[in-house]
Structure 1
Amino acid sequence: MNPEACVEVVLPGKVEPEGLRLWRGAVPVAGRGEVVVRMEATGVSFAEQQMRRGRYYDQPPFPFVPGYDMVGTVLSTGEGVDPALTGTRVAALLKVGGWATHVRVEAADVVPVPDGIAAAEAETVVVNGITAWQMLHRKARVRAGQTVLVHGANGGVGSVLVQLAQAAGVRVIGTASARHHDALRERGVTPVDYRGGDVPARVRELAPAGVDAVFDHVGGRGVADSWHLLAPGGTLVAYGSASTRDDTGSKQWPVLKLLVRVTLWNALPNGRHAYFFNVWGGRALSKNRFRARLRADLTQVFGALRRGEVTPRIAAQLPLADAAEALRLAESGTVAGKVVLTP
């Protein structure tokens, strides 16, 4: 591949994965306060799966380059940026734009990746790790000795949630299909088959007094079950609407329904709390505070990775040119961990 060329994967509209397009052009030039990062790893998350259906609630207009996060090496710096940053491996949370060999990013938005962590390993814990850490420690505020329920415990966010919770001394009950149960047991998780009948009844058997927190990416009608499984003082963190993935109609409606429910539940005088979490919700903070929180939390996640408290789970690693295959694989529901794209 020509090192002077930038290759991007473009999402032209509502298409099947094979409808993705490759675009080749000049490497971007860093402007004031910016860096250009040579991508080493980017990932396929639920956000991209929804975006290609036109179902992600705040996606930009088509066409655009998807890619929620990325890891790479700073190739060049713009005016006002320390040139010593060149050659540093960094991670960035982008929302869009990561599926490219070269990405222009504001220098204040990149976070150094510690030595000893490979790019693909770091990629598995950028958006997934930030999401898991902030839900655990900033929303649910988990403590040692508590019990939590993690839906989709074998998934990209779920698998990181499980490990960070265990590192905090928390007991974990995790829903997953039966084929993942042995792997979950090996990691100290009590598995529950989400296809095996009455999931709430099974969780109540395991935690008769209720659980201290539920992390729910499924949304839909089942989120009410998550709320009712909470112990007094417990916290529900809803962070997705996977159950509505293939719905038609307004892409905002599933999120709006969740927000209404959260508002009503929080008004009840029972000491429980509910949140709809999105990592960009921190934008309500000033830009500097948002960036500082992101940097602090991702640094914590990288620390957990280096200490072995989190094991990177790479479901598959494919070249950027095979983004269609990677997207289809991620959507298949047959893999555990994160599908990673490399240049």
Structure 2
Amino acid sequence: MMNQRVYITKPGEASVLKLIDEPLKEIAENEVRVKVIATGVAFADMMMRKGKYPGAPGFPFVPGHEVVGVVENIGREVTNFKKGQFVASFCKYGGYSRFVHLLEKDLVLIPDGVDLYEAAAIILNYLTAYQLLYRIAEVQKGNTVLAHGLGGGVGTALLQLSKELDIKLYGTASAKDRQKFISEGVFYIDYRTEDFVKRMNSLEPNGVDVVFDGVGGFNWQRSYQTLKRDGLFIGYGFTYAAEDSVQSNEQQFMVEEWNRILHTEKTSSGHKGKFYSISKVSQQEPNTILEDLNQLFKLLKEYKIKPKIAHKVPLEEAVTAHQLFEKGIDGKILLICQ
């Protein structure tokens, strides 16, 4: 029996993605063979492809953080799943495949009535947003929050999930999202034309309770200036690194700040500081991934969250999917694997 997987063969443009035919491995006793229905395309995939993602496997490797599919076969020791069930997993790597072998402990059953494509669209972004809000920041009703990149995947998820918390949300985004955010009750800041520090200092002179910053670089320093004295800064991404050239002093700042926050839970400004990495959480606290994914599927079934799917692209056209992503899209891109 054969499998097809999309490999990043070497660092470079989207053309380095190659669909490879290979024999399907034998299933281990504690594994579940999942026939993949859909997998998501993420910013992290772009960074991996360009060789800029810390901790990525050596080339060649198969990207893909999120998988939704149907159980095709189970190992002899598997007890919680059976053939024909629809399942989901945050799998870190390997999602760009027709079939994947996953450990039973890493799978979640998708409830009846949940759209499978929407399920695939929430795994990475909504799981990240949910854990940022509830587990890392422990945001409370009435808190003031600044979130950067509110128009992106995690930002959209933060916006939808924060409605349950009744917080005052400020967000930076591009001008095209202006009306959408205003209609949602978000205090919107155009990061291209406005100085978000000056704007926030005028709107919240005493500062906000929490900042979520997925940008990185010197943007962190500016985010600190919007916090209350006892405010919390959370860094969870490094989109600044996607630029073709990154200044050496900015890179040096990031290294020093990373080490400072990691060891002291304080920023260079003296504020409380934390990092979030879903990959790290999946290794150290895997049960929280399963618990929160189950909660998200419940919210999805109750129509309390609704991901926007921009494109569904066949697996064999992964190059096109990456090109679409890099042009800028409003919504999630899914690779359809069957």
TM-score by length of 1: 0.91
Once residues 113 and 260 of structure 1 are traced to their aligned partners in structure 2, the CA distance between those partners, rounded to angstroms, is: 39
Once residues 81 and 206 of structure 1 are traced to their aligned partners in structure 2, the CA distance between those partners, rounded to angstroms, is: 55
- Conservation of the 8 A alpha-carbon contact between 1:219 and 1:258: no
Deviations 1:305-339 (A, max 9, x none): 22222111212111111111111111222x12211
Residue segments in structure 2 that go unaligned for 5+ positions in a row:
none
Which residue, out of 139, 144, 150, partners 2:147? 150
Summarize the Cα distance change of 1:69–1:283 in structure 2 as closer, same or farther, 3 Å threshold. closer
Once residues 248 and 104 of structure 1 are traced to their aligned partners in structure 2, the CA distance between those partners, rounded to angstroms, is: 38
Which residue, out of 323, 326, 333, partners 1:328? 323
Q: Which residue identity lines up with residue 92 of structure 1 in the other structure?
A: S
Q: Does 1:62 align with 2:62?
A: no
Deviations 1:282-308 (A, max 9, x none): 3673xxxx2221111111222222222
| Aligned residue number for residue 177 of structure 1 | 174
| Aligned residue number for residue 302 of structure 1 | 297
Deviations 1:225-250 (A, max 9, x none): 11221123321111111012134689
Summarize the Cα distance change of 1:78–1:194 in structure 2 as closer, same or farther, 3 Å threshold. same
1:268 deviates by 7.1
Deviations 1:246-301 (A, max 9, x none): 34689x9786344135258734799842112101223673xxxx222111111122
Summarize the Cα distance change of 1:199–1:269 in structure 2 as closer, same or farther, 3 Å threshold. closer
Q: Does 1:128 align with 2:125?
A: yes
| Aligned residue number for residue 278 of structure 2 | 279
Q: Does 1:339 align with 2:297?
A: no
Summarize the Cα distance change of 1:141–1:30 in structure 2 as closer, same or farther, 3 Å threshold. same
Q: Which residue identity lines up with residue 28 of structure 1 in the other structure?
A: K
- Size of the alignment, in residue pairs? 334
Q: Which residue identity lines up with residue 342 of structure 1 in the other structure?
A: I
Summarize the Cα distance change of 1:242–1:26 in structure 2 as closer, same or farther, 3 Å threshold. same
Name the SS of the counterpart of 2:128 in structure 1. Answer: helix
- Within 5 Å, give how 1:213-252 maps onto structure 2: 213-247=210-244
Deviations 1:75-94 (A, max 9, x none): 11012002752211111111
Once residues 141 and 253 of structure 1 are traced to their aligned partners in structure 2, the CA distance between those partners, rounded to angstroms, is: 30
- Within 5 Å, give how 1:75-114 maps onto structure 2: 75-82=72-79, 84-114=81-111
Once residues 99 and 231 of structure 1 are traced to their aligned partners in structure 2, the CA distance between those partners, rounded to angstroms, is: 43
Summarize the Cα distance change of 1:283–1:93 in structure 2 as closer, same or farther, 3 Å threshold. closer
CA RMSD in angstroms comes to 2.3
Summarize the Cα distance change of 1:138–1:209 in structure 2 as closer, same or farther, 3 Å threshold. same
Once residues 86 and 161 of structure 2 are traced to their aligned partners in structure 1, the CA distance between those partners, rounded to angstroms, is: 24
Summarize the Cα distance change of 1:42–1:141 in structure 2 as closer, same or farther, 3 Å threshold. same
Q: Which residue identity lines up with residue 126 of structure 2 in the other structure?
A: G
| Aligned residue number for residue 310 of structure 2 | 315
Deviations 1:96-134 (A, max 9, x none): 100001111111101111221122101121111221111
Name the SS of the counterpart of 1:124 in structure 2. Answer: helix
Name the SS of the counterpart of 1:305 in structure 2. Answer: helix
Summarize the Cα distance change of 1:258–1:327 in structure 2 as closer, same or farther, 3 Å threshold. farther
Once residues 146 and 19 of structure 1 are traced to their aligned partners in structure 2, the CA distance between those partners, rounded to angstroms, is: 45
| Aligned residue number for residue 118 of structure 1 | 115
Once residues 268 and 147 of structure 1 are traced to their aligned partners in structure 2, the CA distance between those partners, rounded to angstroms, is: 19
Q: Percent identity?
A: 35
| Aligned residue number for residue 33 of structure 1 | 30
Once residues 56 and 33 of structure 1 are traced to their aligned partners in structure 2, the CA distance between those partners, rounded to angstroms, is: 30
Q: Which residue identity lines up with residue 190 of structure 1 in the other structure?
A: F
Name the SS of the counterpart of 2:163 in structure 1. Answer: helix
Once residues 40 and 104 of structure 1 are traced to their aligned partners in structure 2, the CA distance between those partners, rounded to angstroms, is: 14
Once residues 265 and 165 of structure 1 are traced to their aligned partners in structure 2, the CA distance between those partners, rounded to angstroms, is: 28
Summarize the Cα distance change of 1:84–1:292 in structure 2 as closer, same or farther, 3 Å threshold. closer
Q: Which residue identity lines up with residue 306 of structure 1 in the other structure?
A: K
Which residue, out of 188, 208, 211, partners 2:205? 208
